[in-house]
Chain A
Amino acid sequence: GENVEQHPSTLSVQEGDSAVIKCTYSDSASNYFPWYKQELGKGPQLIIDIRSNVGEKKDQRIAVTLNKTAKHFSLHITETQPEDSAVYFCAAGPGNQFYFGTGTSLTVIP
């Protein structure tokens, strides 16, 4: 099955700086790569996703890039704000059955 690795496990940035989280996947059949944000006491919430036929996608301060050849994808958050503090999970998979990375705990320091 798919194996998704995520780095770093923890990340602290100053407010206003950028944050980058990286993931790699193993299964070349994976064609869908969502990113989820999980706040304390809540379930994961989809924040952005990208499909294998697209190299980059942006939504306001959040962007995701995908390199199919290297089998890695990244989440970029610009102009970070304290409310961005949460655990972020990447995932990869063919369609509806996808596998999650181990998560990155992001702390934005005011």
Chain B
Amino acid sequence: DSGVTQTPKHLITATGQRVTLRCSPRSGDLSVYWYQQSLDQGLQFLIQYYNGEERAKGNILERFSAQQFPDLHSELNLSSLELGDSALYFCASSVGGVEEKLFFGSGTQLSVL
């Protein structure tokens, strides 16, 4: 158990809908990262937050947004969903903003029908 909690584990929705994925980092970790894992794209870095502030942005679509709250949990919001957004979404956390050792949650499997 990595100590990173992601909910829900599975999510099934329809095209055009909006969903929210939630992540609670390990106790004491200030950074949260979001990754998307699909069969054809592998693990793609989406975005990183450090202590409530956006720190780095990767291949995140404009339809996606994230935030980190004062209690350090994070939410990834996916809107106007398309079939191609179906993937496994991972959250990871680390101690500090430039601490490289990431601890991953078990992921949220999103299926867009």
Contacts and interface: CB of A to CB of B under 8 A. Distances in A.
A43 B101 contact: no
A96 interface: yes
Given A34-B100, A49-B100, A96-B94, A43 B45 contact: no
Nearest to A31: B100
What is the size category of the interface that chain A forms with chain B?
20 to 34
Contacts of B2: 43, 45
A44 B106 CA distance: 8
Given A49-B101, A95-B100, A44 B90 contact: yes
Nearest to B100: A32
A42 B106 CA distance: 5
A101 B55 CA distance: 22
B26 to A, nearest CB: 12
**Chain B interface secondary structure, helix, strand, loop or mixed?**
strand
What is the size category of the interface that chain B forms with chain A?
20 to 34
Contacts of B42: 89, 100-103
Interface in A10-33: 32
Nearest to A6: B42
B78 interface: no
Interface in B1-34: 2, 4, 31, 33
Nearest to B90: A43
B98 A95 contact: yes
A97 interface: yes
Interface string A30-59: 001010100001111110010000000000
Interface of A: 32, 34, 36, 41-46, 49, 89, 91, 95-103
